[in-house]
Amino acid sequence: MDLGLKGRTALVTGASKGIGHAVAARLAEEGCNLHLAARSGPALEEFAAKLRAAHGVTVTTHACDLSQHEAICALAEACGAPDILVNNAGAIPSGNLQDVTHERWKASWDLKIFGYIGLTRLLLPKMYARKSGVVICVIGAAGLHPNPNYIAGCVGNAALNMFVKCIGAESMDHGVRAVAVNPGATKSDRLEYLWRENARRKFGDPERYRELLVNYPGGRVANVEDVSAAVAFLASDQAGYVCGAELTIDGGHLLRRG
């Protein structure tokens, strides 16, 4: 399906790896010109060169630390008024209330929670002035179900889901849509490493890590492509009346947990 995104401009944060990397690749396939932001400048530029060669789109890279308000302001200024904002940068540590130190809690929220809020706050007025735009926040299903051993992530993600709903409650009146995407466990190099370590501890063999996935729907977790396809659809006019909503991408795993 042609999503009609050709020629539009998208800003994707956290684009050097994982979900952000896959979202950027999918939007480039659809013909979007891109602004890509991440801390790793060399990795970002290498990726951008591949996208330019493969799809003939304009790709501008921004090596920046979005936990810093000055970097958020500079990025918003450099990107002008993108048609699509994909907030994706950030990772929040696991642990219970006593495990997560004040410093780790604050640093992770500065990047993800206040990074999403700060960038949206600066770009939303530009979209309102143009009477068009889409804000997509890639958040995470942890915000939908309490887990005392991931307290910083659960609370932060829940806050971002409410943030999107608050924006979406009025943004359609200005021609702008805001949507939350909540992936469950999503396959990545980091997650596979953790599975292998768990399998080594549990079975004495890291290669048996797939046995740890039997309780997930279909015996697997999400792929980054599952998420990127949903983001591209939500960014398009095909989802033109979807606003203030949250899409969970976990194969129904949360439903099994009640």
pLDDT in tens, 147-187: 999 999 999 999 999 999 999 999 999 999 999 999 999 98
Helix, strand, coil percent content, the chain, rounded in steps of 5: 55, 15, 30
Give me the chain's average pLDDT, please: 95
| CA-based nearest residue to 215, from 181, 163, 258, 253 | 253
Going along the chain from its start, the domains and CATH numbers come out as 9-185+223-249 (3.40.50.720), 187-221 (no CATH)
List helix spans (H) across the chain.
Answer: 18-29, 41-55, 69-79, 102-111, 113-130, 151-171, 189-203, 224-235, 253-257
Beta bridge partners of 61: 36
Band of the pLDDT at 1, cuts 50, 70, 90?
confident
pLDDT at 2 over 90: no
Band of the pLDDT at 256, cuts 50, 70, 90?
confident
Cβ partners under 8 Å of residue 39, min gap 6: 16, 63, 64, 65
Which two three-digit tokens encode residue 190? 């980091």
- Residue 202 is given by DSSP the state H
Q: What is the pLDDT of residue 30?
A: 98
Q: Which pTM does this prediction carry?
A: 0.94
Task: State the residue for tokens 């530029």.
Answer: 45
pLDDT at 117 over 70: yes
pLDDT, tens digit (0-9, with 9 covering 90-100), for 43-54: 999 999 999 999
pLDDT at 189 over 80: no
Q: What is the pLDDT of residue 258?
A: 64
